[in-house]
Structure 1
Amino acid sequence: MTNTKYGGQAVIEGVMFQSPRKMVTAIRRNDDSIDYFEMDRPQKDWVQKLKKIPILRGNVAIIESSIYGMKHMDFASERYERHPSDDMNIEAEKHEANKSKIVLSTVLIGILSFLLGKTLFTLIPVFIAEVFSGVVTSHAGQVALESFFKLILLLLYIYAISMTPMIKRLFQYHGAEHKVINTFEDNEPLTVENVQHHSRLHYRCGSSFILFTVLIGFIVYMFVPVDPFYVRILNRLALIPVVIGLSFEFLQFTNKVRHVPVLKWFGIPGLLLQLLTTKQPDHKQVEVAIASFNRLLRSVE
């Protein structure tokens, strides 16, 4: 096994895997065949330089993930329910809609969706905690209350969406993605049987990152004022990049020390959250994940 770090994400009826220079998605079509979408990862010099700067690189990585992830999700969503014989019509429809506009709108949607979601996730708990400001008056108490409501909001949101059939299947493919990565990192052949024997949890998962933003935010907010209220709102918004950056660094740290007996416990909270964001995949879903990863490995050889 090389030292290359492979990552990925679940898409509708499939899995996307990525290396530093390549991204591959495999999906299950409605005729039971497996279809692929491949793209090179842009290697812009200024972006690569930003990726070397601690804290800042986390923000770059998240924005990149949002942009490129949307492209792969679009591929999956427009094809998984349609027969492969209809692919010519899909391309014709995209051409008529102006492909450049579609790409631009996908990029904008990816960025705006992330920013909007992060802003709401940050501010809603602030307003809820403020309701109790007459009861919980201390700075530490308000920050703790805010973080508590943020955690509850996160757990309730994930649990609620996991009840829908489509998200449940998405979480199954998320589990398949982790199983494949774990099998590969254990230097075992990528067979369905081997993959199914591995854990559906992984230390580098984005789900862990989301939880870490709550925990890291709790620590960061202890050092900034909560009064007056408008200052609290402003510093929460201003500190979003800082919390994201620190959470990304902590995620990388937990992955590096996951085999160290004592330090591996730092990553346990994130793994526990993955019990909600991943589900046990069936064999056919694992087949898709394996196909996607093998295609990626062949493309980078």
Structure 2
Amino acid sequence: MSKKQQPPAYGGQALIEGVMFGSRDHTVTAIRRKDDSLDYFYVPKEHKPMSTKLKKIPFIRGIVALIESAGIGSRHLTFANERYDVMPGEEVEENGEETSKLAMVIGVAAVGVLSFLFGKFAFTLVPVFLAQMLDFIAPGKTAQILLESFFKLALLLIYISLISMTPLIKRVFKYHGAEHKVINAYENNLPLTVENVQAQSRLHYRCGSSFLLFTVIVGMFIYFLVPTDPFWLRIVNRILLIPVVIGVSFEVLQFTNSLRNIPVLKYLGYPGLWLQLLTTKEPEDKQVEVAIASFNKLLEIEEQGIENVEILKSTDSKMEETTVPVN
């Protein structure tokens, strides 16, 4: 079976001046430094028995995967944010302050998870109140759910549009496009050159942006199955159903990804791709170079093992992450 026929094995995340790619066991980031050099960051994926079992259960596995990716992604985001605009050698050293590295990692991961949950609560509950305020215009369960879903989609689009106007986020969205282009080139069995990668689409079926849109659509159908009155019960239902919506939306995302090469059925994933027109931008060649470097480093680790790759392992077993400039 060719790589193109195999289920995708790699995912990624756009960062500030960089891209993170991950596989089942490893995550690697490459960022562009202030002096134009590249810097790497490595974090292994831990497979705890409980989470491994949970990730085999449909509808539960999506929640577990999202929490884990939020935690790991926060560490990569922190690395990129602290180093992208600093000249090599001018990094702030923590020598002299015996702050626990393990505590720092746990703290960063917790912030990532809490930020995700806060955002999910906000985008779930605010539309409920907005729809209720217009109950005199759109009374009844069906009208209220449709109005609530409309507000949820509108808030999502407005939020993305507003943040995309900032120069920093514009560049992150370009790296997001570069990330997708590299994955698409790899899945099409093309050599990872800048020319080949730039020729690929900046959209991808498995993107987290598609997942966000699916939570709106899936949530709307699930809400039809529960009561909307009285209002307090509606609020309780929305909160309790957050993990259900997340779990079902993850399965829908996986399902549409499996259909992307089937005529007619591939269009089921198009709404998510349309949203990616906002969350991705066409990258510059130098941004594509960063994405290729990150992905190649991940492949190198996959093939040779981290102990044989030029990313110097930390002597602190509690913090298995390191950086090294490109040779």
SS in 2 for 1:296: helix
Cα distance in 1 between the residues matched to 2:210 and 2:156? 12
Residue equivalent to 1:135: 137
Residue identity in the other structure for 2:156: L
Q: 1:85 corresponds to which letter in structure 2? A: G
Aligned position for 1:152: 154
Question: In 2, Cα distance between the equivalents of 1:92 and 1:223?
Answer: 57
CA distance in 2: counterparts of 1:59 and 1:136, whole angstroms: 33
Q: How far apart, in 2, do the equivalents of 1:188 and 1:24 lie? A: 21
Alignment of 1:98-117 (within 5 A): 98-117=100-119
1:90 aligns with 2:93: yes
Matched residue of 1:92: which SS?
coil
Q: For 1:136, what is the secondary structure of its paired residue?
A: coil
Rounded Cα–Cα distance in structure 2 between residues aligned with 1:207 and 1:23 = 20
Q: CA deviation at 1:86?
A: 1.9
**2:19 equivalent to 1:15:** yes
Q: 2:10 matched to 1:6?
A: yes
Between stretches 155-164 and 107-116, larger displacement belongs to 107-116
Report the residue type matching 1:236 in the other structure: R
| Partner SS state of residue 16, structure 1 | strand
Q: CA deviation at 1:97?
A: 4.1
Partner of 2:194: 192
Alpha-carbon deviations, 1:120-173, whole Å to 9, x = none?
010000000000112211211100000000000000000000000110000000
Q: Secondary structure at the match of 2:283?
A: coil
The residue matched to 2:245 in structure 1 has which SS?
A: helix
SS in 1 for 2:19: strand
Q: Which runs of 5+ in 2 are unaligned?
A: 304-327
SS of 1:204's equivalent in the other structure is coil
1:83 shift after superposition? 1.0
* CA distance in 2: counterparts of 1:75 and 1:194, whole angstroms: 29
CA positional deviation for 1:98: 3.5
- Corresponding position of 2:320: none
1:227-263 deviation line (CA, Å, top 9, x unaligned): 1000000000000000000000000001000011111
Inter-partner Cα distance in structure 2 for 1:109 and 1:76: 16
Aligned to 1:291: 293
Matching of residues 142-291 of structure 1 within 5 Å: 142-291=144-293
| AA aligned opposite 1:13 | E
Secondary structure of the corresponding residue to residue 9 of structure 1: strand
> What is the DSSP-based 3-state SS (H/G/I as helix, E as strand, rest coil) of the residue aligned with 1:279?
coil
Amino acid at match of 1:135: I
TM-score by length of 2: 0.89
Which letter does structure 1 place at the counterpart of 2:93?
A: I
Cα distance, 1:293 vs. partner? 0.1
Tell me which residue corresponds to 1:29. 33
Distance 1:57 1:147 in 2: 25
Per the TM alignment, residue 91 of structure 1 is displaced from its structure 2 partner at its CA by 4.7
- TM-score where L is the length of structure 1: 0.97
Secondary structure of 2:14's aligned partner: strand
* Equivalent residue, structure 2, for 1:49: 53
- Percent of residue pairs identical: 60
Structure 1 runs of 4+ with >3 Å offset: 1-4, 89-93, 95-98
SS of residue matched to 2:28: strand
**SS in structure 1 opposite 2:89?**
helix
The amino acid that maps onto 1:90 is E
Task: Give SS of 2:13's match.
Answer: strand
Q: Distance in 1 between matches of 2:251 and 2:214?
A: 10
Which residue identity is paired with 2:261? Answer: H
Once the 2 structures are TM-superposed, how far is the Cα of residue 221 of structure 1 from its aligned partner? 0.3
Partner of 2:64: 60
